[in-house]
Structure formats: C-alpha cells, structure tokens
Amino acid sequence: MLANRRVEPRRIGLEAGDVIAGLLFLLACSLVMARGLACRVPNRRALDTIWSQVARVVDVSDAEIAQAMRAYYQDTHNLAEGAGAAALAGALREKENLQGKRIGVVLTGGNVDWETYLEALARNL
C-alpha cells in the first residue's frame, strides 16, 4: 500500500508541496481523465485530515491516470474511471521507491463516460 501517501492530480500552476504547506487556494484544473478528483476550492476540514495523516503527496498527470486505466483493463479486465485509477497511477509513479515491497492498491469507481474511456484506451495504441 502507498502508506501515508495521497494521490493528487497534477494541476496548472500548483505543485504537490503547495498542498502540504497548509494553504487554501483556488485551483485551475485541466483534468480530463479524473474529473472526480477535480476540486477548485478544497474543504478546510478535509485538508486538516489530510495534513495530519499524509507524509507527502504523489502528483500524477492526466496521461499517467490514462495509463493506469489501460493497465487495469489490460491486466485485470476491470473498467476503472480516472479517479478510481489514480491510486494505481501513483503507485506506478513511485515504482522505483516501491521496488521489493509488497503493496496493495484499491480500485474504486467504474463510472466513466464512453468517450473518455476510449480516449484513455487509445493513448498508447
């Protein structure tokens, strides 16, 4: 498992460290694959919980989320929406740090529209 890590979508003009710094901010979000993770104004109580439990943030791009969606389908024949594939995208990004460790990644959510899913599947064909 990605212990004490939170996967966060990459956003325009925001680095992962800005989230941990404890700031409330307005975000410009360009996500296509993981719209379920998009949040323009973070909830203060949710951020307080994150800051008390998370050691660091794993920042993933739309392309990495699409790659994780493809991997779920190709390897397990399960359909994953972008937000549901974000944890796998984070694990794939952390692959070198996780080498030799046993991890678990939870797949949640299969609510993805057909056009978005086709785009994710087509990216590396």
Query: Which element (helix H / strand E) includes 119?
Result: helix 114-122
Residues of the chain with pLDDT under 70: 1-32, 35-36, 38-40, 124-125
List phi, psi (to 5°) of 59: -90, 125
Rounded-to-integer distance, Cα 118 and Cα 121, Å? 5
> In the prediction, which pLDDT does 58 show?
84
> In the prediction, which pLDDT does 26 show?
47
Prediction pTM value: 0.71
Rounded-to-integer distance, Cα 83 and Cα 21, Å? 23
What would the CATH number be for the domain defined by 5-122? 3.40.50.1100
Domain boundaries, the chain: 5-122
> In the prediction, which pLDDT does 118 show?
87
> In the prediction, which pLDDT does 12 show?
43
Q: Which contacts of 115-122 are long-range, i.e. CB under 8 A and separated by 24 or more positions?
A: 116/32, 116/33, 116/82, 117/69, 117/79, 119/32, 119/33, 119/66, 120/33, 120/65, 120/66, 120/69, 120/70, 120/82, 121/69, 121/70, 121/73
Torsion, CA 109, CA 15, CA 51, CA 55, rounded to 10: 90
> In the prediction, which pLDDT does 122 show?
85
